[in-house]
A and B are shown apart, each in its own frame.
Chain A
Amino acid sequence: MLTFEKLEQIRQANIELNRQGIRVVVGMATCGLAAGAQLVYDVFQQEIKKRALTEVKLVPGGCIGACSLEPIVDVYTPGQEKITYVQVTPQKAQKIIEEHLVNSRVVDEYVGKLEFKGQERIALRNCGIINPEDINEYIAQDGYQALAKVLQEMTPEELITEIKKSGLRGRGGAGFPTGTKWSFALSSSGQKYVCCNADEGDPGAYMDRSVLEGDPHSILEAMALAGYAIGANQGYIYVRAEYPVAVKRLEIAIKQAREAGLLGENILGTGFSFDIELRLGAGAFVCGEETALMTSIEGKRGEPRPRPPFPAVKGLFGRPTILNNVETFANIPPIILKGADWFANIGTERSKGTKVFALVGKVNNIGLIEVPMGTTLRTVIEKIGGGISGGKRFKAAQTGGPSGGCIPAEHIDTPIEYETLIELGSMMGSGGMIVMDEDNCMVDVARFFLEFTVDESCGKCPPCRIGTKRMLELLEKICNNEGEEGDIEVLENLAVTIKAGALCALGQTAPNPVLSTLRYFRHEYDAHIKDKRCPAGICQAFMTYVINQEKCTKCHICAKNCPTNAIIGKPKEKHYIDTNLCIKCGLCITKCPKNAIEKTSKN
């Protein structure tokens, strides 16, 4: 059996191991793998073996967050600064091995500068640094030390008090205080459960995937802590089937933790037992809602149910259950080890700690960032994100996914907190931050989200099932140049009704993308309806196709391909498009060898 002393010995031995030799970490989360990290890893593996570089330890790591620079390879040499190589190819890998590993000469031309200024990594502390498939590497980074400390020194009540004191709030969306949630389940007796919501469905958010792929043991440890706090001996992780790499790493982590005696019966000889099972989602966004998630674990259609009773009273299999999101759990072990006061000192009065954002869309430095709460949007987009790509103008940042809204350019100096985002008509959500520029049409963005909601509505309650459908029809009408006076008012009316009447959070927040774009970009709706134009030039129905006569070589290829014979003109003569016949299919643009056909949204 694993004892406290043995755990400490493993920790010391692995810290010592990391001090010796050269350590090569290849970022192998989904982004890295998509960028070709496996090939790079294979080259390192073969060459290290071939050249018998016994002092080099090759480690498949998680994601450091700089997605656009993948594949990333970090080389750690004792007593020297870490060297980071970016956009590594198998050829570059060969040269790095030859020069750096064999001859100790850094290959300067491949070295990338990763900028972490303004960031603070708590939830992502181990991502991209340790090997997620090796429990010993986690233990070397003080892994399972929080569990050991709590089991030796704290009662469940003291643990909950500590979490309350830290001010940690749920990172999955609504921001409910974690310690308070745990305390609700403490008082009841009998079988209880701890669930981890890893059904990260918000499009554009992938911090949970990154934690699961890069540091899965931190979630297992935190769930065991939660189990100890409320008196549960069984946990479930509900993870999306769309994340195969995360599933695999979780399976490995659970197996290793069981073998080590850190999950299962009588953990560390204290009499406390806790085990975790994995449950795979099957592609239903609504299962991110807590009651739907638990219904799905029970093996049923993932439909939500009314609350109360809240899960802490009656949850999974009808028993008291607490459910936290991946990022929330990832914050728990550091809070225990460094203390609630340390955590409460980071962030703002109302929102403590840090938040991970997936900074994506039209921004230069795409990737995962972790910043203290209260950081302004300007710092995130301009300093960390490196500004808008292509030198375009920043228009809005979308947060909170299909439940959230847009923060327009005029509010770029707002500090990011749960409350400020709500005041702006958006929400924290799970942390997707999609940056949009002048080329994005906000009516189209609203339509995109409503299409998503209509698709994902489970159909149980009519306000969501029917109401969102009606909203989508109106938005499609507006985008199709068929909008009429009064449509906006109907949209607003529907939005209020759905918010008031829907059963679960999915429905209640579904109108937010529309309300938020109406609040800040009503002029774009008006332009579509009254001026009959799409200012961003996105909505096809408002486009007119014209032939640029200067570029046109009168080759007639476009006319031959036009399905409606809308292009008038004979070979070697002037061609023009009859806009009455044109169906705006865009085929001519793809066929023209000289790029002479242009789309314009002007009348």
Chain B
Amino acid sequence: MGKGVCVCQSEKFKQLEQIIAEQKGQPGSLIPVMHDAQELFGHLPLEVQAAIAEGLDVPLADVYGVATFYSKFTLQPKGKFQINVCMGTACYVKGSQLILDKLAEMLQISVGETTADGIFSLDATRCIGACGLAPVMTVNNQVYGQLTVESAEKIIQEYLLRARRDINANL
């Protein structure tokens, strides 16, 4: 582990302290703090949960309980590009399962997993309310609609090329 990582992490924990200080004492502040923490760290590892518990003065068990109850909170790191294939009814009846299967096959991961290189994570998501464009998927916050198995595959290929370009540029 390089030194840079540690500095960056401690910087994040400082920011987390600030988030907690701003919201502590407000009724029901645990979930909003956890949203902000996940935004900051990308996921909620045990250290982060412990910091939240201590900062807000709630038992760690409560933080863990909330983190594991809601599907938006994740204990595992997600990919740089988070693919969410919508499994709402409108998308399902229009074949989103086939798209999900294809992407899983293409990325060689199961649904809910992240690729070994950390570039992609693949999830089935609840209805995102873009039913008029079914079937849809999102990559990070970008929504792609009226998909076919082929077009979905093509979109992910483009992200893959982009990620590779970025890696090469950083070398």
Binding site for B on A (CB under 8 A): 30-31, 33-35, 67-68, 70, 200-206, 209, 241-244, 279-285, 296-303, 317, 358, 360-362, 366-368, 398, 401, 432, 434, 436, 440, 445, 448-449, 458
Contacts and interface: CB of A to CB of B under 8 A. Distances in A.
24 contacts: A30-B143, A34-B130, A34-B136, A203-B88, A205-B129, A206-B132, A241-B35, A280-B32, A281-B72, A282-B71, A284-B69, A299-B27, A299-B28, A301-B66, A358-B90, A360-B131, A361-B89, A361-B94, A361-B134, A362-B93, A366-B131, A432-B90, A440-B93, A448-B89
B62, B92, B129 pick with most chain A CB within 10 angstroms: B129
A33 B125 CA distance: 19
Interface string B19-59: 00000000111111011000000000000000000000000
Given A33-B143, A279-B28, A284 B70 contact: yes
B35 A209 contact: no
A360 B90 contact: yes
Contacts of B69: 284, 301-303, 458
A301, A358, A368 pick with most chain B CB within 10 angstroms: A301
Given A203-B90, A204-B127, 16 more contacts: A31-B145, A68-B133, A203-B126, A242-B126, A281-B70, A282-B73, A283-B71, A284-B69, A299-B28, A300-B62, A362-B94, A366-B131, A366-B132, A367-B132, A432-B89, A432-B131
Given A203-B88, A242-B126, A279-B31, A35 B145 contact: yes
Interface residues of B, number: 38
B30 A299 contact: yes
Interface in B123-171: 125-134, 136, 141, 143-145
Contacts of B32: 279-280, 299
A242 B138 CA distance: 11
Interface string B64-90: 011001111100000000000001111
B70 A434 contact: no
Interface of B: 27-32, 34-35, 62, 65-66, 69-73, 87-90, 92-94, 125-134, 136, 141, 143-145
Contact of A203 (B30, B34, B72, B87): B87
Contacts of B88: 203-204
A360 B70 contact: no
A295 to B, nearest CB: 10
A206, A244, A282, A303 pick with most chain B CB within 10 angstroms: A282
A204 B13 CA distance: 39
Contacts of B129: 30, 200, 205-206, 209, 242-243
A546 to B, nearest CB: 20
A267 B31 CA distance: 30
**Those 3 A-B pairs whose CB atoms lie nearest each other, nearest first:** A67-B132, A206-B129, A282-B70
B46 to A, nearest CB: 18
Contacts of B72: 241, 281-283
Contacts of B66: 299-301
A248 to B, nearest CB: 11
Contacts of B128: 30, 242-243
Nearest to A294: B28
B133 A34 contact: yes
A398 B92 CA distance: 13
A206 B90 CA distance: 11
Contacts of B30: 299-300
A301 B132 contact: no
